[in-house]
Structure 1
Amino acid sequence: MTVLQPHTGPISGQHYLPASGAALSWGRLPTPDRKPMLTVRSGDTVTVDTISHEGLMEDQGRDPLTYFGERGVAASDVLVDLVDLAGSDVVHTRGPDGPHVVTGPIHVEGARPGDILKIEYLELLPRVLYGVVSSRHGLGCLAGERPVNDETGEAVPILSQFCTVDLDSGEATMAWGSGGRIDFPIAPFMGLSGVTAATDEALNTIPPGRHGGNLDVRDLGHGAAMYLPVQVDGAGYYMGDPHFAQGNGEVSLTALEASLRTTVRLTVLEPDAAFAAVGGLDGPVGETATHWIAIGLDRDLDEAMRKCVREAIRVLAEVAEVPPSVAYLYLSAAGDFVVSQVVDDVKGVHCLIRKRDFPAWH
């Protein structure tokens, strides 16, 4: 594989949006007055280049050529759009701004508030053969406790692990010391994918919400779909925070962060059509060929769990016509509730509901 630099390599969508110039925002989501970078029809496919923030961040030097060069990556294998952003005059302030680089927005003709945007993930191609997992002090599941220097036990501000990727085996390698290594499978997905919220202020990219955004639900990968309530005319779709792999929980702070070229189909559904698919949703809902994915979000993990249970009951009642009391009992016996992530301020729980358990969906 060659590195997928902008405008090179396979581009399978009807439209293409590179990660450059005005198409990028760093740390903030698009607002309703943001000029769309692309206008498409409902049902069109779009290929979008996304870039990872790891190797770009200020605490890593904001110099990806040097950062990755010190880890054995040739300059020609560093993405030029990443280098261009690092060298630009774009102001990024950690804290007020999130870390994520966002590509978009995309205007979908005919989308109006009250409609649902269906996002189908058709293809997720690695743009590079390496990625980074990081932990930053004060953040992550063990905020204030880790990361530390394993030898001294002293706190360190950031700990980052460079990983190589073999696409033939489909595995990433995390290596350390004299021969220590872990190999684990990659399963690319977009950590951040959403519609523009009807707010005047540009939202921080970190917390997910009704708009979708930084959900970090790893089951929304190749072949999956996500449904989001449209909040502004044209939907204002965007994506970012590309991942090669993530464990549920994302406990240290990041996944295996690495740049992707992602092709999606964007379809506008009027309320009746959306109801037939996922019911009367008021926030993100996912779907695969085999499962519905109910999602609960809250700053309190216990409340996120309760919200996910209520949402799973709603999906079963409205889509599979299961009485809510029966749905509640079924979910206790067969629903698979998972902590999506605990590191994005607003925590996430999602439930995988097997379609095969319901006669009409066999």
Structure 2
Amino acid sequence: MCSNCDYTIHRAHHHFGWDRSIPPVQTVAPGSTVLFECHDSGSGHFTPDSAVADVSTLDFSKVNPVTGPILVDGAQPGDALKITIDGFQPSGFGWTANIPGFGLLADQFTDPALLLWKYDAASMSPTLYSDKGKVPLKAFPGTIGVAPAEAGTHSVVPPRRVGGNLDIRDLSTGAVLYLPVEVEGALFSVGDTHAAQGDGEVCGTAIESQMNISLKFELIKGANLAFPRFTTPGPVTNHLDIKGYEVTTGIGPDLMAGARAAVGNMVDLLGKLHGISAEDAYMLCSVCGDLRISEIVDMPNWVVSFYFPRIVFE
């Protein structure tokens, strides 16, 4: 975490949609490091005293707020904005919810559910899941992007060519993200910080947790990126690999159907192995399990696998 950031963007400067007409709150020079005070994806709706009834009162017009935008001096369409993730200031509190109508298995999980998490913000050591196990943590921003060239306000929910709600858990400390610039100054914003998430975020939420994040900005002139790309500073799964995985699969000609089957099979397996409810198993899959395409060439059937780390329960 930077001790002498060049700028601080306070969480009061946030917005709920990508729009090139939003005035920047700060102009920064390439090479600057900026501290962003971020909200969680629920805009602070959930607290340590929340109950499952609070899921139904979540205001969907205020989800995934992003702090910014900042204008990066000299950024032009066709450039790439290079963003190095310097570090995080976690809050120590998080939440995971099953929100009816949202998530990979929304048709099977129609009732609201809520898990509340407390973790050590300094050590980021694994956090307790009731008395059953512990979930390893890895901080990252779920939503990180720049303004699209198309006029008007665009939802923060879907990811885009210019970033946005990417939900890539490996965009953690030390990672370097490259985003295509479509408007002058890039107009960068960030938010929706997470304490942990599995690849796929299958129930629709991770361990959603308010954090501050410091980022360094540079420009790559004339990069002409088609889509975002990133590099990682080292291994990305060694915090989960130690005890191996339980793995379920889905096989068939439709990748979405295969993904649903793989996750559904894991929900059933976790219930049988550890005596937890289907709702809890589904949310745990979202915060620490990985959905992967294992095979996509042996037509007409593809293989989707779901990896759940055994370290959670050992």
Scaled by the length of structure 1, the TM-score of the pair is 0.60
1:285 corresponds to which residue? 229
For 1:270 and 1:221, how far apart are their aligned partners in 2?
25
Matches within 5 A, 1:29-108: 29=18, 31-54=19-42, 56-57=44-45, 67-69=47-49, 94=60, 97=61, 99-108=63-72
Distance in structure 2 (CA, Å) of the matches to 1:70 and 1:291: 36
Q: Deviations over 1:24-57 (max 9, x none)?
A: 113x22x112110111001111010101133744
The partner residue of 1:112 within 72, 76, 81 is: 76
1:13 matches 2:1: no
Label 1:197 to 1:291 Cα distance change in 2 as closer, same or farther (>3 A): farther
Considering fraction of residues, name the structure with more helix.
1
SS in 1 for 2:219: strand
| Structure 2 counterpart SS, 1:68 | coil
- State whether structure 2 residue 116 is matched by structure 1 residue 162: yes
Structure 2 CA distance for partners of 1:337 and 1:227, relative to 1, 3 Å? farther
Q: Does 1:131 align with 2:94?
A: yes
Contact 1:38 1:105 (8 Å CA) reproduced: yes
Unaligned runs of 5+ in 1: 1-8, 58-63, 72-91, 147-154, 275-279, 293-299, 303-335, 340-348, 350-362
* CA displacement at 1:181 relative to structure 2: 3.3
1:263 paired with 2:214, answer yes
Q: Residue 116 of structure 1 contacts residue 270 of structure 1 at CA under 8 Å; is this kept in 2?
A: yes
1:172 to 127, 147, 159: 127
Task: Tell me the residue number matched to 2:279.
Answer: none
Give the conservation status (yes or no) of the 8 Å contact 2:124–2:137.
no
**1:257 and 1:160, CA in 2 relative to 1: closer, same or farther beyond 3 A?**
same
Matched residues, percent identical?
31
TM-score (norm 2): 0.69
Q: Does 2:162 match 1:211?
A: yes
Deviation at 1:101?
1.1
For residues 301 and 106 of structure 1, the distance between their equivalents in structure 2, rounded to whole angstroms, comes to 38
> Deviation at 1:93?
5.9
Distance in 2 between residues matched to 1:204 and 1:169, nearest whole Å = 31
Deviations 1:285-337 (A, max 9, x none): 01123589xxxxxxx967xxxxxxxxxxxxxxxxxxxxxxxxxxxxxxxxx99
Using a 3 Å threshold, how does the CA distance of structure 1 residues 111 and 221 change in structure 2: closer, same or farther?
same
Distance 1:250 1:98, change over 3 A: farther
Structure 1 residue 68: Cα displacement: 2.9
What CA RMSD, in Å, does the superposition of the two structures yield over aligned residues?
A: 2.8
